[in-house]
Amino acid sequence: MNTNFSVDMNFSTESVFPGYRRENGKSGVRNHLVVIPASVCAAAVAAKIAAQVEGAVALPNQHGCCQVGADFLQTKRTLIGLGQNPNVGAALIVGLGCENIDAAELSAAIARTGKKTDYLIIQECGGTLRATTEGVRRAAALARDISALRREPCPVSALVLGIECGGSDFTSGLASNPAAGAASDLLIQAGGTSILSETTEFIGAEHILARRAATPAVGEKLLAIVRDCEQRSLAQHVDLRGSQPTPGNIAGGLTSIEEKSLGCIHKAGTAIIEDVLDYAASPGGHGLYVMDTPGQDVDSVTGMVAGGASVILFTTGRGTPTGSPLAPVIKITGNAETAVKMRDNIDIDVSAIIRGEISIAAGGRAIFAEMLSTAGGRLTKSESLGHREFGIYKIGPTF
């Protein structure tokens, strides 16, 4: 676990990291071959294919069939975005053949980034065994192609950071969240991009965030996503204050949704908010963006990765093992006890902020240095332990 804050000396954001340059100008920190099932009906075959090809990772997509309207479009946008993520070197799409989402269309959309893609249809192959055999052949060819790619110097400004919190406690708003926000500010000062997530955790503090919007219209978009979130809850005859804070948050010392939100927004640092994004949508430029995601950690991280996040900062007071199939997830805690109890999962301990031994700025610099090390290829603990949690945010019923 990183508790070394010597990065305070001679610190500079004017640096590069060894990454993978993509044909569309993006830079990745990993070089995955992703096997994407177009629907849940193809998920098992996709997993069988990936299991037999070195460097391949399958996405356990549970959707893609019998979805309608905005819910269908969101799933489609998410799958395309995941394939387009700069951490992906190539993609194989696996379809059953009769689902709503078309495998050939997904493949073509991802190929527009310059990546090599391919697709196959289980029904056209003649079932699981033949589709798996053919899929392994095609995936292995893609894996050989991207194995020739080598890391080369990439500007820090190419990094897109996703910022998440989970299992929050009283230390989150005092230490880990502000330190993550300081790291985000450093990236933005270097010309990079950050995405703040979890709409449910702005409630009660949204007016404070809105003051930092680049324009009044952006501020209104931020307020609108919070209103919409509350209205969806009330339409289900549920008051969000009955589920937020969670039992774990309360046991960790948080007393209200407003207190939790006031701590949560510290992850955004001090930068101006350039725009508010739909779930899985990509930022239109550099700087700080807000994405409309749920408070559920896995679905939220998936949305940011689909929007192009190449590295995730994940603050936690009580500890969580959550990872991602495509982006390294750096776990940060401000709770010294959690740093010891969950040491298999925590990458950075900034509890020295609570003890008054270091400043928030110093903690931010340590996180930024860890982010660059991770971008250069160092595995996070969630990666080394095989944590590839995945979920797509559903916003409508399946028929």
- Residue 167 confidence (pLDDT): 87
Sign for the CA dihedral angle at 39, 45, 49, 55 comes to positive
* Residue 113 three-state SS: coil
What does the alpha-carbon distance between residue 354 and residue 233 come to, in Å, rounded to a whole number?
35
**Distance from the Cα of residue 316 to its chain's centroid:** 15
* Residue 193 three-state SS: strand
- Residue 203 confidence (pLDDT): 86
**Where do the H-state alpha helices sit in the chain?**
43-51, 69-84, 103-111, 122-125, 128-147, 170-171, 177-189, 206-210, 216-235, 247-251, 257-264, 297-306, 336-341, 360-375, 381-384
**Burial class, 112, CB count within 10 angstroms (exposed 0-12 / middle 13-18 / buried 19+):** exposed
How many CA atoms does the CB half-sphere of 81 hold within 13 Å? 24
DSSP state letter for 171: H
Per-residue pLDDT of the chain (399 residues; tens, 9 = 90+): 765 544 443 456 668 999 999 999 999 999 999 999 999 999 999 999 999 999 999 999 999 999 999 999 999 999 999 999 999 999 999 999 999 999 999 999 999 999 999 999 999 999 999 999 999 999 999 999 999 999 999 999 999 999 999 888 889 999 999 999 999 999 999 999 999 999 988 888 899 999 999 999 999 999 999 999 888 888 888 776 656 666 767 676 656 667 667 778 899 999 999 999 999 999 999 999 999 999 999 999 999 999 999 999 999 999 999 999 999 999 999 999 999 999 999 999 999 999 999 999 999 999 999 999 999 999 999 999 999 999 999 999 998
DSSP secondary structure letters along 336-395 = HHHHHHTTTT-SEE-GGGTTTSS-HHHHHHHHHHHHHHHHTTPPPHHHHTT---------
